[in-house]
Amino acid sequence: MTTAITLDAEPRLGGLVCGLSSPGRPALTELGAQHGPSIRERVVGHGAALLSGYEWTDWNDLDAFVKQVVGSPLDYTERSSPRTELHPGVFTATDHPPTEEIFLHTEQSYNLTVPRYLFFFCRQGAPEGGANRLADCRAVHDALPREVVERFDREGYLLVRNFLPGLGLTWQQAFGTEDPERVRRYCADNGIEVEWLSEDHVQTRQVRWAVATHPETGAKSWFNHMTFFHSSSLNKDLAELLLEEYGPRGIPTNTFHADGTEIAPDVVEALHAGYRDHQVDVTCRTGDVLIVDNLSVAHGRAPFVPPRELFVSMADALSWERLRPVERTALPGGAVGHAG
């Protein structure tokens, strides 16, 4: 006979995160079976939920829990972060070195189809550092200068990526194929201009939206990779070195206005300040599960001292067409814009 599990909820960090716990140490899958819809409702209502004190042992538990709460985990396509797939739909959160901070971002917002929810499973918490950084993108949207929001909402922004040997992901890793023709087809289907500048140097250019409307709450959110991919988010010394060597349109990633002009320094600083002013840190301890509504809350990572093991699953794919007003679903600036 299944024992009924009590779910205790406590708002944290100004209500952005809902802390969830239960007496004893019930199995995570039992919690999901009994309270899956309620957990999802709390994630949507707050923006994130931190589950503490539940037992889980293997990938099957994680896969089952994601399905119980929101549906099947998604694959990781059009990649930008180095990750290792551990089980279908379960990845390392990132393989970036622990000494590096990861700037706040909303997962895969540069794709035409985005994950609605992120599940972070902490198998081992770091002895020092490693906080999951969160920011309420609804509050960021409301705090940014109106003229900045209105221009990017109207025009979108341009993302330029360069896949170069020894600098970040290769085009084969990013697109999951060794076949250039498959890359060309994917780009054609997803509003991306692609150009082989040499055998090993591929450049992509895509114009994407900056503001999303939440399909359930109706709240507007600053939902983009404009700041994350901008050269200003790199280590200062590294940025200077790369820009001197490759120029602003030749580095691994950079962002611009949709017409290809550079974003003014004061606007870049305002974007950074918008995230910085709304950043909060959540420390995941061994066994914790952090669920994030990707449409409402950005995530990042503080540097840490190893060991630390954090896994991620993404779920509930949404087309950008569901995140824009009906009259404004066409790609801003036409198909993809230009970097030259």
Predicted TM-score (pTM) of the model is 0.95
Burial of 303: CB neighbours in 10 Å, binned 0-12, 13-18, 19+? middle
Residue 332 lies in a domain: no
What residues does 122 pair with on adjacent strands?
310
Asked if the peptide bond before residue 145 counts as cis, ω within 30 degrees of 0, the response is no
DSSP 74: P
Contact 68, 289 (CB under 8 A): no
Residue 134 lies in a domain: no
* One domain, residues 286 and 229: no
The Cα 146–Cα 152 span in angstroms is 10
Residue 192 lies in a domain: yes
Mutual orientation of helices 28-46 and 59-69 as an angle, nearest 10°? 50
Averaged pLDDT in 10-residue chunks for the chain of 340 residues: 91 98 97 98 98 96 98 89 90 94 97 97 98 99 99 98 93 94 97 94 97 97 99 96 97 98 99 98 98 99 98 96 72 44
* One domain, residues 189 and 311: no
Which of 249, 46, 35, 251 is CA-nearest to residue 158? 249
The tokens describing 43, both together, are: 């994630």
* One domain, residues 144 and 269: yes
CATH number of the domain where residue 15 is located: 3.60.130.10
Cα–Cα distances (Å) from 110 to 59, 65, 114, 191, 214, in that order, read 28, 27, 8, 11, 16
* One domain, residues 49 and 113: yes
* One domain, residues 159 and 218: yes
* pLDDT at residue 17, rounded to an integer: 99
The Cα 278–Cα 258 span in angstroms is 26
* One domain, residues 257 and 300: no
* pLDDT at residue 332, rounded to an integer: 57
The tokens describing 145, both together, are: 């200068």
* One domain, residues 160 and 233: yes
* One domain, residues 40 and 112: yes
* pLDDT at residue 1, rounded to an integer: 59
Domain boundary among 273, 308, 333: 273
Domain of 162 in residue numbering reads as 140-273
The Cα 32–Cα 30 span in angstroms is 5
List the end-to-end C-alpha distance of the chain, in Å, as a whole number: 66
* One domain, residues 13 and 82: yes
What residues does 55 pair with on adjacent strands?
27
Contact 180, 216 (CB under 8 A): no
Number of domains in the chain: 2
Residue 288 lies in a domain: yes
| Sequence-separated (6 or more) residues with CB below 8 Å from residue 44 | 216, 217, 293, 296
Residue 133 lies in a domain: no
Domain boundary among 214, 238, 273: 273
Residue 232 lies in a domain: yes
Residue 246 lies in a domain: yes
Residue 15 lies in a domain: yes
Domain boundary among 273, 306, 335: 273
